[in-house]
C-alpha cells in the first residue's frame, strides 16, 4: 500500500490528502473536493476495487488534479481509495478503502472496535504531528540503506555522518539505529566523474518503546494484602503516557465469569468502566493496553474483579 520515494536515497514519507464536501450525485458518479495539505502535491491517484482483497483483482485506476472531483464508478466496483502524488513523482500513503454506497453519508454512532495500527515496514520514515502543529519524522525500521538512484549505470560514493560525528565514505551504507533517541543524518552522493548532489539532511527519532498505562481506583474504600476493595461508586482512572511518538489509542477487552473474552474496544473514560461493571454480575477480568502512533503496543494490564458470594 506504500510506494517508494525517489529523493536521492530509498526512503519513504507520508503525504496527506484532505477529503471534504462529500456528496452523492447519482448511483454511478460521486463528487467531492481534494484539498492538498502540502504545496508540492500536484495530483491524486484513485483506485476502484470490486472487493476488499487486494490480491484477488487488478484495480481500475484514475488520475486527477487537486480541486473538485467527479469520480465515475463503473458497474461492479464497490470501493475506492486515494493517494497524493507530489513533485518528482513522490507518492504518499493510500487512504483506507471508501465504500461507494456509503461515501458521504453520515453513520450512526456505535461502539468502536479497536484495530491496532501497524506501520507499513516499507515506509522507513513517517511524519508524526507534534503538539506545536508541525511534523516530526520517526524511523519505522532499525536500519536505513542510503542507495543512490541514477538513470545510467555509473559508480557513486556516499559521504555521510550521524549526529555531527566523523565523516565516512562508502558505496551503499547501511546504517543501524537500534536505540531510542533523536538523530541527524547528513549525506552527499558523488559519482565517478566527481559530480556531487547537494547535501541532504534528515532529522528523525527512533521510538521502539510502547506506552505505559497506569490504573488507579478512586476512591479506594479499603486495601488489604495487595487487594483493593471497591464499591459500585468506585471509578477506574486510566492514564497512558508515551515519551516518543505519543499515545494513539487505549483499548480494552473483558471476560465475564468463565465466558469467552470479548473483542478489543476503544476505551472511553466516561462510560467504559461503568458499562463493564453493570453488564457483568460474575467475576470480571479486564485487560487494558495502549498503542503509540508507530504501532508499539504495551503488554496489557489486567484487572480481576471478584464479586462477593451471595449472602456475604
242 Cβ contact list (under 8 Å, min separation 6): 209, 210, 211, 212, 290, 292
Q: What pLDDT score was predicted for residue 112?
A: 59
Cα 18 versus chain centre, distance: 16
Query: Do residues 253 and 265 lie in contact, with contact meaning Cβ atoms separated by under 8 Å?
Result: yes
Q: Which cell numbers hold the place of 228? A: 483493593
**CA Rg, the chain, in Å?**
25
Query: Do residues 59 and 49 lie in contact, with contact meaning Cβ atoms separated by under 8 Å?
Result: yes
Q: Say if 143-206 and 212-305 have the same CATH topology.
A: yes
Query: Where do the structural domains in the chain lie, given as residue ranges?
Result: 17-102, 143-206, 212-305
Residue with cell 474483579: 305
CATH 3.30.230.70 corresponds to the domain 17-102: no
Q: What pLDDT score was predicted for residue 311?
A: 53
Query: Do residues 126 and 119 lie in contact, with contact meaning Cβ atoms separated by under 8 Å?
Result: yes
pTM score, whole prediction: 0.56
Tens digit of pLDDT at every position of the chain (312 positions): 333 323 222 222 233 334 433 333 345 788 888 888 778 888 889 998 888 887 788 888 888 888 888 888 888 888 899 988 888 777 888 888 888 877 776 554 445 565 555 544 456 888 888 888 888 899 888 888 877 666 667 788 889 999 999 999 988 788 889 899 999 999 998 888 888 888 889 899 999 999 999 998 888 667 777 777 777 788 899 999 999 999 999 999 999 988 888 999 999 998 999 889 888 888 999 999 999 998 899 999 999 988 776 555
Cα 106 versus chain centre, distance: 24
Please tell me the total number of residues recorded for the chain in this structure: 312
CA distances from 201 to 164, 183, 184, 226, 247 (A): 11, 10, 7, 53, 28
CATH number for region 143-206: 2.60.40.10
Listed residue (25, 23, 1, 27) closest to 12, CA to CA: 1
CA quadruple 146, 149, 155, 157: dihedral positive or negative? negative
Q: What pLDDT score was predicted for residue 291?
A: 94
Taking the alpha carbons at both ends of the chain, their separation in whole angstroms is 58
Query: Do residues 189 and 196 lie in contact, with contact meaning Cβ atoms separated by under 8 Å?
Result: yes
The 3-state secondary structure of 212-262 reads EEEEEEECCCEEECCEEECCCCCEEEEEEECCCCCEEEEEEEEEECCCCCC
Residue 176, strand partner residues:
143
Three-state secondary structure call for residue 168: strand
Cα 155 versus chain centre, distance: 37
| Architecture of the domain delimited by 212-305 | Sandwich (2.60)
Q: Which cell numbers hold the place of 54? A: 487486494
Amino acid at each position: 500500500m506504500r510506494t517508494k520515494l525517489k529523493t536521492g536515497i530509498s526512503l519513504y514519507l507520508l503525504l496527506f490528502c484532505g477529503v471534504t464536501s462529500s456528496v452523492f450525485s447519482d448511483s454511478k458518479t460521486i463528487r467531492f473536493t481534494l484539498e492538498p495539505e502540502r504545496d508540492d502535491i500536484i495530483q491524486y491517484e484513485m483506485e476502484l476495487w470490486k472487493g476488499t482483497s487486494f490480491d484477488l483483482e487488478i484495480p481500475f485506476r484514475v488520475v486527477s488534479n487537486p480541486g473538485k472531483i467527479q469520480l465515475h464508478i463503473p458497474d461492479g466496483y464497490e470501493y475506492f481509495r486515494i493517494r497524493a502524488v507530489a513533485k518528482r513523482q513522490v507518492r504518499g500513503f493510500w487512504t483506507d478503502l471508501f465504500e461507494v454506497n456509503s461515501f458521504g453519508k453520515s453513520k450512526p454512532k456505535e461502539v468502536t472496535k479497536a484495530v491496532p495500527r501497524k506501520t507499513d515496514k516499507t515506509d522507513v520514515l513517517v511524519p508524526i504531528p507534534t503538539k506545536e502543529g508541525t511534523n516530526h519524522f520517526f524511523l519505522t525500521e532499525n536500519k536505513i540503506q542510503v542507495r543512490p538512484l541514477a538513470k545510467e549505470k555509473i559508480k557513486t560514493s556516499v559521504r555521510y555522518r550521524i549526529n555531527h560525528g566523523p565523516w565516512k565514505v562508502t558505496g551503499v551504507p547501511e546504517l543501524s539505529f537500534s536505540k531510542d533517541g533523536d538523530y541527524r543524518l547528513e549525506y552527499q552522493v558523488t559519482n565517478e566523474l566527481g559530480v556531487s548532489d547537494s547535501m541532504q539532511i534528515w532529522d528523525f527519532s527512533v521510538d521502539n518503546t510502547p506506552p505505559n498505562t497506569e490504573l488507579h481506583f478512586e476512591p479506594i474504600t479499603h486495601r488489604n494484602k495487595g487487594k483493593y476493595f471497591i464499591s459500585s461508586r468506585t471509578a477506574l482512572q486510566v492514564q497512558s503516557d508515551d515519551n516518543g511518538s505519543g499515545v494513539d489509542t487505549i483499548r480494552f477487552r473483558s471476560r465475564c465469569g468463565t465466558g469467552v473474552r470479548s473483542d478489543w474496544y476503544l476505551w472511553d473514560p466516561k462510560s467504559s468502566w461503568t458499562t463493564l461493571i453493570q453488564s457483568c454480575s460474575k467475576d470480571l477480568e479486564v485487560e487494558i493496553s495502549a498503542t503509540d502512533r508507530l504501532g508499539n503496543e504495551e503488554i496489557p494490564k489486567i484487572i480481576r474483579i471478584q464479586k462477593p458470594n451471595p449472602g456475604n
